[in-house]
Structure 1
Amino acid sequence: MMSSNLITEMPQNYSEKTSGPSASQNGSYATFDEFVRCLTLFICLCGMLGNGIVLWLLTFHIKRTPFSLYVLNLAGSDFTYLFLEVIWVINYLIYRPSFKNIINLLTNMGLHVTFTVGLGLLASISTQRCLSILFPIWYRNHHPKKGPMVVCGLLWILSPILNLPKVYYCVVKVEELPLSGCDTVSKLSGTLMLSMLLLMTLSSLILFIRILWSAQKYKPKKLVILILLTVLVFLVCAVPHGINHSVFNWKAMYNHIFHEISYLLSCVNSSANPFIYFFIGSLRHQRLKEPLRIVLQRALRDDSDPSEDRAASSRTDTTLDTPA
C-alpha cells in the first residue's frame, strides 16, 4: 500500500548528535518541515478514508475470495500505517525538540510492523499471479485453497517478532548501546526486506512482459493491471524511504530534505491503493452514480478462480481477456 530499514530507525532528533545540520540550518528548514508535515497529514487523512471504504466494502458487502482477502489485509495494514503516521507527526509537533516518549516507541513499532506486512502481501500477490500465468493448469487445480489465509496470518504474527529487536536496538537503546547493535539488526532486517522486494519485482516484471507479449491478441485483465500499478507505486514511493534509512544508518549520511520527502512518499504509497482499485474498476464503465461496491468488485474480479467465475475455468489463459 506499501518503511528495508524502512521506517524510522532512529529518533527524529538523532541528527542533532551527528554531523547533521547546524542550528542555523535547522532554522532554515523549519518552514519546509511545517509544509511537508501538514501535507503529510492531509495525504494520510485522505488515505485513511480510502482504505476505510475498502475495508468496509470487503468486510460487509463483497463476497470474500482469495485475492480479496489479500486486498483486505493490505488495506488494513495501510490504514494502520497511516493512522500511526498521523499520531507520529502530531506527537512530534507537540513535543519537539524533546521527541522521546512512549508514543514515539509504540508508533515506531507499529510502523515497522505494518510496512513489513504490506511488503509481504504485495510479494505474495504478485507471486501468486505470476504462478497463475506460468502454470495455469497447476494453479487452477493444485494451489492451496487456504494459502492466502495462512500467508496473511503468518505475516501478522511474524512481523512483530521480527521487528521487535530492530525497534529495541535502533529506537529504545540507541543512546545507550553502540550503534553496531542497530547496524546488525538493520542489516538482517534489510536482507529480509530486500528478498521480498526482489521477489515482488521479479514477479511483476514477468507479468509486465506477459502483457507486452500478448497485447496484440488480448486485452490485459484489469486485475493484472491493478497489481502492476500497485507494485509500481510501492517501488516509486516506499523504496526511497528504505534507501533513506539504509544510508542514514549504515554510512552515517543524512540529507534532511530527502529524509522528509521520503516520509511523505511513504504515506502516498499507503494512500494510493484505494484510488487505484476504483480507477481500474471504472475503466470502460462510464456509468454515473455506480455504487462503489460494484466498481471495487469489478476491479478485484479474479477469473482464474473457478469459485468466482465458473466460465473462466474453461479458458486456457487465466490472465488475459478474450479479444474485444
Structure 2
Amino acid sequence: MDSVTGSAKNEVNASLEQSVAPTLCTDVMCVLLAIAIMIIMVIGVTGNGLVIWIAGFKIKKTVNTVWYLSLAVSDFLYCTFLPLHIVYIVKREWVLGLFMCKFISFNLFLNWFSSILLLVIISVDRCVVVMFPVWTQNKRTLRRALVIILLSWIISALLSVPAAIFRDIKINNKFLKVCYYNYKKDEHTTVVVCRFIFLYMIPLLIITICSVLITKKLKSNQMQKSNKPFKIMTALIVAFFLSWMPYHIFNLMELNPTYASVLPTGKKIAFIVASTNSFINPLLYAFMGKDFKGKCYELLSKIESTFEEEVQSTRFRMSITNSGESSKL
C-alpha cells in the first residue's frame, strides 16, 4: 500500500514539475527580441572594438580621441554582456544566479551613467574650446582629460551600485525565477523621477545650451571650414537621448496603474531601443565621413579620418579665433 501511495506521489510531483517547468521562447515577440539583441551585440562589439583599436592604438592620442575612446569602451563592455539578456529572454527564467542578476543591472547603468557624463563632458569641452580658444590652448591637456575620464568612470560606478544592491530574484506565479528590482512603492517612484530629472532632463538642458553657444560663436567668427566634428557631436547626443526616451516614458507610465496592460511589451521594446545606442556611435563616425559609399572595407579609414578631422578642425578654429582677437587689439 505504501509503495502504491509513494508511486502515486512521484507521478503527481513529476506532473507538477513538468507543468511549471520553463518553456523556451517560441512566440514571435520573444524571437524578435532575442534576434534584435543578438544583432546589437554583434554590431556593437565589432564597431566599438574597431573604434577602440583605432583611437587607442592607430592614431595619436588627443583630448578629442580619448573622449570618444572612453565612450566606445563603455558601449563595448555593455555589448559584451548582452548574451546574458538573450539567455533570459529565451529561457523565460533567470537561471544565472543572484550575482549575475545584480551584475547585468550594474553593467547596464554603468554604461548609461558613463555615456551621459561623457556626452556632457564632450559638449562642455567643445563649447569651452570654441568660446575660449586661448585659454584652452594652454590648459586643455591630455593628462587633464584622462583625469576627468577616470573621475567620470568612478562616479558612474558609484551611481550604479544602488541598482545592483536592489536587484533580487523571486519566484513568480508561474514558479519561474525572475530577476527584478526589489523597490518599495515610494522608493520606486523616487528612483524613476530622480533618474528622469537628473540623468535625462538636466544633461539635455546642459548639452542644448552648449550647442546653442557653439553655433552662435561659429557663425559670428565664420569658422566653417569643417563642421563635421560638430555634426558628429550633435548626432551622438541626439541618438543617445532619442534612444533612451522610450525607457523613461515607460518607467514614468509604470507609476500609473492605468497603463499596466501595455507595460510588459513596452518596456521590452524600450530596452531594445535603448540598447541600440551602444552600437550606433561607430556607425555615425563612419557614415559621416567624406564620400561614404557604403563599402564595408572603408569603415576603418572613415573612422580614422573622423578622429583626424577632429584634431584639424580644433586647430583651425583656434587659429581663426586667435587671429580675429589679434586684429582687434
Aligned partners of 1:51 and 1:76 also within 8 Å: yes
What is aligned with 1:316?
321
Determine which of 100, 104, 108 is the counterpart of 1:107: 104
Structure 2 vs 1, CA of residues 102 and 236 (structure 1 numbering), >3 Å: closer, same or farther? same
Q: CA deviation at 1:290?
A: 7.5
Amino acid at match of 2:271: Y
Most deviating of 120-129 and 95-104: 95-104
Deviations 1:62-100 (A, max 9, x none): 111111111111001011112223322223322527787
2:303 to 286, 296, 304: 296
Where does structure 1 lack aligned partners over 5 or more consecutive residues? 1-28, 319-324
Cα distance in structure 2, aligned partners of 1:76 and 1:55 = 7
Superposition RMSD in Å: 3.4
Could you say what secondary structure the match of 1:146 adopts? Answer: helix
Is the Cα contact below 8 Å between 2:98 and 2:168 reproduced in 1?
no
8 Å contact kept, 1:70–1:152: yes
Aligned to 1:263: 271
2:152 alignment partner, one of 155, 161, 183: 155
Q: TM-score with structure 1 length normalisation?
A: 0.74
Deviation per residue, 1:270-321 (Å, 9 max, x gap) = 111101111223x147798976554323212334788xx5x76532289xxx
Structure 1 position 51, deviation (Å): 0.6
Classify the secondary structure of the residue corresponding to 2:128.
Answer: helix
Look up the SS of the partner of 2:81 in the other structure. helix
Once residues 294 and 268 of structure 2 are traced to their aligned partners in structure 1, the CA distance between those partners, rounded to angstroms, is 40
SS in 2 for 1:71: helix
Kindly state the Cα deviation for residue 229 of structure 1 after the two structures are TM-superposed: 1.0
- The verdict on how the C-alpha distance between 1:190 and 1:175 changes in structure 2, with shifts beyond 3 A counting, is closer
Correspondent of 1:90 among 87, 91, 114: 87
Counterpart selection for 1:233 from 239, 242, 254: 239
Please say if residues 303 and 312 of structure 1, whose CA atoms lie closer than 8 Å, have aligned partners that are also in contact.
no
Greater helix proportion:
2
What residue in structure 1 maps to residue 184 of structure 2? 178
Say whether 1:244 aligns with 2:241: no
User: Match for 1:83: what amino acid?
Assistant: T
CA distance in 2, matches of 1:177, 1:272: 32
Q: Deviations over 1:232-268 (max 9, x none)?
A: 11122122223322432x4354433332221121122
The verdict on how the C-alpha distance between 1:84 and 1:214 changes in structure 2, with shifts beyond 3 A counting, is farther
Instruction: Provide Cα deviations, 1:98-121, integer angstroms capped at 9, x if missing partner.
Output: 787432221111111111101111
TM-score (norm 2): 0.73
**1:182-197 residue pairs with structure 2 within 5 A?**
182-194=188-200, 195-197=202-204
- Which SS does the other structure have where 2:288 is aligned? helix
Shift in alpha-carbon separation, 1:166–1:39, aligned structure 2, 3 A:
closer
Equivalent position of 1:123 in the other structure? 120
Q: State which drifts further: 99-108 or 147-156.
A: 99-108
Q: Distance in 2 between matches of 1:287 and 1:35?
A: 26
Distance 1:41 1:81 in 2: 13
Larger mean Cα displacement after TM superposition, 226-235 or 140-149: 140-149
Match of 1:273 among 276, 281, 284: 281
Which of 203, 208, 211 in structure 2 is aligned with 1:204? 211
Q: Determine if contact 1:133/1:317 at 8 Å carries over to the other structure.
A: no
Per-residue deviation, 1:129: 0.7
Give the whole-Å Cα distance in 1 for the aligned partners of 2:295 and 2:246.
38
Query: What is residue 16 of structure 1 aligned with on the other side?
Result: none
Contact between 1:166 and 1:182, CA under 8 Å: does it hold in 2? no
> Whole-Å Cα distance in 2 between the matches of residues 71 and 166 of structure 1?
26
1:70 alignment counterpart: 67
CA contact (8 A) 1:119 1:197 kept: no
| Structure of greater relative contact order (alpha carbons < 8 Å, 6+ residues apart) | 1
Is 1:224 paired with 2:230? yes
Aligned to 2:115, the other structure's residue is in SS state: helix
How many corresponding residue pairs?
284
CA contact (8 A) 1:208 1:228 kept: no
C-alpha distance in structure 2 between counterparts of 1:44 and 1:75, whole Å: 13
Unaligned residue ranges in structure 2 (runs of 5+): 1-25, 171-179, 324-329
Aligned pairs (5 A) from 1:36-51: 36-51=33-48
| 1:99–1:59 Cα change, 3 Å | closer
State the match for 2:15 in structure 1: none
Kept in 1, the 8 Å contact 2:223–2:320? The answer is: no
Aligned partner of 2:207: which letter?
M
Equivalent residues of 1:46, 1:271 under 8 A apart = yes
Percent identity, please.
Answer: 21
Q: Describe the shift of the 1:246–1:202 C-alpha distance in structure 2 as closer, same or farther (beyond 3 A).
A: farther
- Which whole-Å deviations, capped at 9, do the CAs of 1:187-236 have from their partners, x for residues lacking one? 4444431333322233234445666x479883542211111111111122
